[in-house]
């Protein structure tokens, strides 16, 4: 049955911060090494050690910012190990991620160069769990101080005369777990202490992000907001979509049963409840919404690909991941008055990646295509929509079959993104367009879909799941009608 969606093109609710489309790269598995960094002597085409294909692909999705060096790795990372001549850098054990040797060849200078090449803002995560206040203070000084000082002089000795601009700085990561197993009161006090020395030098103004809650730990948010809100600009939240059990078996990335598909969608949609409840607490202490909710780790987490190092968290990426990404972005748009940044975990070769590499080959995943199709929402105005949609049912449970989100870009273009999460049924829709003033618009559409729940791209078939033209859009007075295929993510663009 055709369902109706009303789009109020004249009611703008909030700005969708482009940083909602942010990324995360940790020293984990093959994300940094092989993914971004191959070294200057590699036969893989690179610029100063960084893969050219990766840079080009990420620029194509307007990557706004990149979080580094972790994750759990951040609270074991000592930044001075990663500066100076590479051959002299300390080799350490990456205890969290496979116990492999970390040679520190990718450090501060390499990361800042990468951000420069991508045109992305750096988001650096400092070490609270095993670091010192002095170490964090000196990192900021090394990065951003222009004048004469020990750290600024050291930076110059290492070949960088000018300070860098750094805005986003995280004071610890998951300090309730791998970042020190702390209680919220204790971390809150440490946050207050550490952030004191995260200083603004010259005109470099830092945006300080406090380590936030795990999933539904609302007490953590309550304590942090009550005790430290005036001293932070952002508070993080981590939530992964895991269809199974974290310890007993998360489920296969490429072989979901119908019920695992349903549970994955249900768990992805749970993000809405989490943001709503954490926001309610934040509103109590920050009614003007000055402090950003920073969801700096999100995405699917499945069992690793058979035969790969369990500590490397390498998983394939299917049409199911594309729908999870689409649903998340719609939820983030809905909460864009509070959600100022999010970072998918992780950019390359780890968890819900946008790129996978194998030697000199690189493929774009279905999730990549969602980032590419949705880039039109970056910094656009989020529009009011009311939707009446069918249910997607399984046993006694049901979910909305279709999710929709609409924004208006600075050039007046209206972009409607739509996800049909049903594995079998089409979604016939009538879209009513209220408030258009310029007459009948030009309408175009693209769709990402597949015929199997496990469809994905491989190094032999890299285009298996890729966007196509959405053909069946019928324009009528005041609106349009369209039928979304099962398991699809679409974007319809209205322009003049
Ligand atoms: O993204 C993988 C890990 O998940 C991160 O290192 C950690 O912060 C989280 O638990």
**297 in contact with ligand 1, CB cutoff 6 A:** yes
Please tell me the distance from the alpha carbon of residue 341 to that of residue 338, in angstroms, as a whole number. Answer: 9
What separation in Å is there between the alpha carbon of 298 and the centre of ligand 1? 9
**71 in contact with ligand 1, CB cutoff 6 A:** yes
Per-residue b or e along 234-270, where b marks 16 or more CB atoms closer than 10 Å to that residue's CB: bbbbbbbbbbbeeeeebbbbbebeeebbbbbbbbbbe
Tens digits of residue pLDDT in 440-491: 889 999 999 999 999 999 999 999 999 999 998 999 888 999 999 999 999 9
Give me the phi and psi of 310, to 5 degrees please.
Answer: -60, -25
**What angle do the packed helices 218-228 and 184-196 form, to 10 degrees?**
40
Tens digits of residue pLDDT in 166-195: 999 999 999 999 999 999 999 999 999 999
Please tell me the distance from the alpha carbon of residue 425 to that of residue 486, in angstroms, as a whole number. Answer: 5
Best residue among 31, 70, 313 to mutate for probing ligand 1, ranked by most atoms within 8 Å of CB:
70
What separation in Å is there between the alpha carbon of 351 and the centre of ligand 1? 10
Active-site residue flag, 174: yes
Active-site residue flag, 297: yes
Tens digits of residue pLDDT in 209-226: 999 999 999 999 999 999
Is there a cis peptide before residue 69, judged by omega within 30 degrees of 0?
Answer: yes
**174 in contact with ligand 1, CB cutoff 6 A:** yes
- What Cα–Cα distance (Å) separates residue 61 from each residue in 17, 132, 149, 234? 15, 37, 39, 24
Q: Give the helix ranges, DSSP H, for 198-290.
A: 218-228, 258-285
- Are 456 and 356 in contact by the 8 Å Cβ rule? The answer is no
**75 in contact with ligand 1, CB cutoff 6 A:** no
Best residue among 35, 72, 209, 304 to mutate for probing ligand 1, ranked by most atoms within 8 Å of CB:
72
Q: Would you say the C-alpha torsion 276, 282, 288, 291 has a positive or negative sign?
A: negative
Catalytic residue among 174, 334, 438, 440: 174
Best residue among 23, 24, 26 to mutate for probing ligand 1, ranked by most atoms within 8 Å of CB:
26
Query: Does the predicted model carry a pTM greater than 0.95?
Result: yes
Please give the average pLDDT of every successive group of 10 residues along the chain, which has 496 residues: 93 97 98 98 98 98 98 98 97 96 98 98 98 98 97 98 98 98 98 98 98 98 98 98 95 95 98 98 98 98 97 98 98 98 98 98 98 98 95 95 98 97 97 86 96 97 98 90 98 94
């Amino acid at each position: 049955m055709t369902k109706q969606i009303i789009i109020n093109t004249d009611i703008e609710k909030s700005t969708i911060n482009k940083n909602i489309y942010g990324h995360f790269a940790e020293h984990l598995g093959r994300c940094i090494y092989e993914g971004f960094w191959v070294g200057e002597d590699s036969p893989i085409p690179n610029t100063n050690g960084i893969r050219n294909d990766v840079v080009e692909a990420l620029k194509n999705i307007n990557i706004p910012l990149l979080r580094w060096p972790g994750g759990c790795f951040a609270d074991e990372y000592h930044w001075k190990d990663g500066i100076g001549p590479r051959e002299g850098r300390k080799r350490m054990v990456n205890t969290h991620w496979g116990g492999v040797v970390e040679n520190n060849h990718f450090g501060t200078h390499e990361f800042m160069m990468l951000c420069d090449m991508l045109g992305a803002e750096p988001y650096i995560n400092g070490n609270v769990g095993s670091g010192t206040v002095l170490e964090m203070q000196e990192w900021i000084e090394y990065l951003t101080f222009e004048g004469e000082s020990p750290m600024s002089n050291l930076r110059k000795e290492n070949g960088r005369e000018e300070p860098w601009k750094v805005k986003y700085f995280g004071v610890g990561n998951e300090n309730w777990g791998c970042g020190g197993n702390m209680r919220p009161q204790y971390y809150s006090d440490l946050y207050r202490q550490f952030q004191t020395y995260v200083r603004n030098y010259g005109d470099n103004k830092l945006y300080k992000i406090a380590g936030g809650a795990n999933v539904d730990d609302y007490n953590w948010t309550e304590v942090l907001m009550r005790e430290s809100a005036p001293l932070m600009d952002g508070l993080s939240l981590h939530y992964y979509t895991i269809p199974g059990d974290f310890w007993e078996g998360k489920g296969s990335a490429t072989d979901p049963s119908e019920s695992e598909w349903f549970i994955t969608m249900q768990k992805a949609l749970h993000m809405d409840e989490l943001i709503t409840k954490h926001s309610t607490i934040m509103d109590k202490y920050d009614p003007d919404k000055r402090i950003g909710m920073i969801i700096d780790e999100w995405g699917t987490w499945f069992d690793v690909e058979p035969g790969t190092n369990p500590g490397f968290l390498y998983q394939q990426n299917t049409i199911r991941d594309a729908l999870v990404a689409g649903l998340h972005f719609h939820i983030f748009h809905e909460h864009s008055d509070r959600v100022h940044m999010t970072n998918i975990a992780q950019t390359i070769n780890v968890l819900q990646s946008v790129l996978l590499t194998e030697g000199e080959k690189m493929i774009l995943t279905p999730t990549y295509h969602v980032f590419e199709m949705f880039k039109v929402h970056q910094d656009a105005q989020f529009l009011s929509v009311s939707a009446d949609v069918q249910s997607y049912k399984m046993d006694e449970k049901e979910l909305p079959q279709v999710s929709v989100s609409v924004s208006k870009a600075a050039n007046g273009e209206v972009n409607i993104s739509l996800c049909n999460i049903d594995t079998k049924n089409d979604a016939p829709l009538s879209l009513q367009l209220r408030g258009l003033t310029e007459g009948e618009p030009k309408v175009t559409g693209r769709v990402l879909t597949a015929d199997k729940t496990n469809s994905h791209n491989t190094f032999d078939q890299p285009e298996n799941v890729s966007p196509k033209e959405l053909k069946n859009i019928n324009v009528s007075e005041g609106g349009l009608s369209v039928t979304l295929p099962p398991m699809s993510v679409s974007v319809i663009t209205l322009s003049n």
